[in-house]
Amino acid sequence: MKLSVALESATKRFENAGIESAQADAEILASFVLGINRGELLSKTISEDSFAAEEKFQFEELVIKRAERFPLQHLTGFAYFRQLELKVGPGVFVPRFETEGVTQLAVDALKAVPKDAPIAVDLATGSGAIALCLATEVPNSKVFAVELSNEALVYTRENFARYAPSADLRQGDLADAFAELDGQVDVLISNPPYIPDQMIPIYPEVHLHDPTLALYGGIDGLDLIRKVDASAKRLLRPGGTLVIEHADMQGKAVQELLLASGWRSVATHKDLAGRDRATTGIR
């Protein structure tokens, strides 16, 4: 089967399944099967190349699963996040594009710390996406990260081994993590579970396949954010920066929570779509 025909068929199938990134997903799966990048795939498509029989079968199997709304990243086994290619799969939260901008807030704050080895903490690190960006983009920093889930840590440990083997990754609860760092941390960031318990995420990929532990944050969605607030007050030095990701409708509530808790210079930041996405404060 010619690549162009296979891609057109897969794209239409994904569109019918309600997948917004239909063409891109078809190209990513085809590139994955062929072991090439999307630029090379385009060249082969223009040249009217075809799948070999085994490749065609593998591609069609992946297309069926993607049309059933299996996450693309679970099918390929990796997710891109900023400059990183992270191992992901069932049991770990797939990092989202909007979190890249949240991470930039922490990167900027860490770079601005006037010391040789600034300390950063990532609470509820998941795949390690945020922590590993801090470690690789601010290479003089000391990065600490904690994750509770056994299932997620299978992937997290592999990602840390690849990108930042000297960073400190631990299993545990964000509420009492890193007691030995109390009052010493320069930047603390967290993308905790923040979906209200009764709310069903729009996308099937999320509510059917992302781990429940990484999604839901209590009746109002703020239970884990309250724990992050408490841990950050304990861990951050005076003048240290807190960065919390949250849902777009939670900006005002998180601001009020942090102001009531004594944080200074509290501000909510929008993502590229113009929606509230993160709130910061100074200890």
Number of domains in the chain: 2
Residue 272: which domain range? Answer: 82-282
- Asked if 121 and 152 touch (Cβ cutoff 8 Å), the reply is no
Q: What is the pLDDT of residues 161-205, one digit of tens each?
A: 999 999 999 999 999 999 999 999 999 999 998 787 777 666 766
For 283, other C-beta atoms within 10 Å of its C-beta total 20
* Same domain? 46 vs 105: no
Measured CA to CA, the distance from residue 243 to residue 246 in angstroms comes to: 10
* Same domain? 108 vs 47: no
The CATH number assigned to the domain holding 30 equals 1.10.8
- Asked if 266 and 281 touch (Cβ cutoff 8 Å), the reply is yes
* Same domain? 166 vs 35: no
pTM: 0.89
The pLDDT value given to residue 1: 80
**Mean pLDDT (the chain, rounded):** 93
Q: What is the pLDDT of residues 65-90, one digit of tens each?
A: 999 999 999 999 999 999 999 999 99
The CATH number assigned to the domain holding 224 equals 3.40.50.150
CA-closest candidate to residue 95, choices 67, 120, 124: 124
* Same domain? 20 vs 90: no
* Same domain? 63 vs 86: no
* Same domain? 157 vs 275: yes
* Same domain? 93 vs 63: no
Tokens describing residue 85? 């290619």
Does residue 57 form part of some domain?
Answer: yes
Question: Is 207 a residue whose pLDDT tops 60?
Answer: no
